[in-house]
Structure 1
């Protein structure tokens, strides 16, 4: 069965865009956390936030895929967490942190758009 046959996703472009953005965020955050883990204790906050956001965005994407009634509420929490993590990543000069921050900002925006759609 093709994914475009899932009614609640094929009819809701904002939700599909948010799911895609959340999975991109998972990848970026896991990569950033892994890279930061090798850089010492000064990166501990970045590692923790990235791992938390990776888990949260993965869960949010799963909730949207199953059309959970909690999807909209979770979108707001996810957006807030993405923004907090982006602020932390932006404090660091490492390329992986800067890339991650960009992905996090995009994810926060798509989550907010989905919640208000």
Structure 2
């Protein structure tokens, strides 16, 4: 079965975009958290937020894919976590933090839109 056959996703471009943004954010956060392990103790908050966002965004994407009635509630939490992570990562000059900040900010905007849908 092709993913385009999942009716609620093929008819809702905004939801599909949010799923894509969530998976991209999870990847960026996993990369950033791993890279931050070598940067010292001052990166602890960044690592924790990245790990939280990686888990939340993958869960949110899964909830949207199965058209869960709870995905809008999770979208709000996901957006909040992404915004906190973006703010934290943006404070550091490391490439992985800057990339992560950009990606999770885009995800936050997408999730915020899903929360109000």
The correspondence of residues 84-95 of structure 1 with structure 2, limited to 5 A, is 84-95=84-95
Structure 1 runs of 4+ with >6 Å offset: none
Structure 1 match to 2:38: 38
Gaps of 5+ in 2: none
Residues in 1 aligned to 2:48 and 2:112: alpha-carbon distance in whole angstroms: 23
In 1, the alpha carbon distance for the partners of 2:77 and 2:116 equals 13
TM-score by length of 2: 0.97
State the distance in 2 between where 1:114 and 1:87 align. Answer: 21
Q: Secondary structure at the match of 2:111?
A: helix
Q: Normalising by structure 1, report the TM-score.
A: 0.97
SS in 2 for 1:38: coil
Gaps of 5+ in 1: none
Aligned residues between the structures: 117
Separation in structure 1 between the aligned mates of residue 23 and residue 113 of structure 2, nearest angstrom: 16
Deviation of 1:40 (Å):
1.0
The residue that corresponds to 1:51 in the other structure is: 51
